[in-house]
Structure 1
Amino acid sequence: MEFVVDAGHPALPGHFPGRPVVPGVVVLDRVVAAIESASGPLPPLRLPQVKFLQPLLPGQLARIELEPVATAPAGRWRFRVLRGEATIATGEIVAEAAPA
């Protein structure tokens, strides 16, 4: 799933004035939407080990890669958010998580 957060998004003015960065909660909202698109509605969840490695700027293309984790309890997902047309090899990972 690909997405772009528009420069007019209401979360951007306070995050950070003069140099907006897409807040992590906005990125994670897109991840949850991608998981629900793949598997249906989710119950309340927690994400104990999300790492934000690089900023995502307004207007940048981002891509979500999802992988269900077969060895974990049902409903566990590993994900990566990549910037643009990046691959893991180019180091353009914005965020990633794997179940604990």
Structure 2
Amino acid sequence: MKAEFSFSKDHPSLAGHFPEEPIIPGVTLLVQVQEVIHASTVPGEIYKLRSAKFLRPVKPGEPLNISWEKGVSGDLSFHCAIGDVPVLTGVFSRFTPLDWGSGHA
């Protein structure tokens, strides 16, 4: 699946975040990716972030393309890019009842 989004220059996460040369905080990127992917999943499914790798800073206004796919194991692999330049990759794993109290949540 695919989607596109960007962050405005007045996004609340930018307050004080490198005012002269603002970049989108990593946690803000991950939250947006998670929300986009969550909107496409089966209601009731819960995912946890298993891994993420930030490859390049993202500036306000840059159009981000996100693509993701569900693997055989149920994990969701995602890739974010600005044009052909990768900026973020990662994996969300399905959260199961066995994860409660296991220290792996």
The structure with more strand, counted as a fraction of residues: 2
Structure 1 ranges of 4+ moved more than 2 A: 40-44
In the alignment, the residues of structure 1 paired with residue 26 and residue 62 of structure 2 have an alpha-carbon distance, to the nearest angstrom, of 14
TM-score for the superposition, normalised by structure 1: 0.78
Gaps of 5+ in 1: none
In the alignment, the residues of structure 1 paired with residue 17 and residue 65 of structure 2 have an alpha-carbon distance, to the nearest angstrom, of 21
Select which of 62, 71, 86 maps to 1:93. Answer: 86
TM-score for the superposition, normalised by structure 2: 0.75
| Alignment match, 1:43 | 46
1:31 aligns to what SS in structure 2? helix
**1:32 counterpart letter in structure 2:** Q
How many residues align? The count is 90
Identity of aligned residues (%): 31
In the alignment, the residues of structure 2 paired with residue 79 and residue 4 of structure 1 have an alpha-carbon distance, to the nearest angstrom, of 16
**2:64 counterpart letter in structure 1:** A
Q: CA deviation at 1:44?
A: 5.7
Gaps of 5+ in 2: 94-105
Contact 2:47 2:92 in 1 (8 A): no
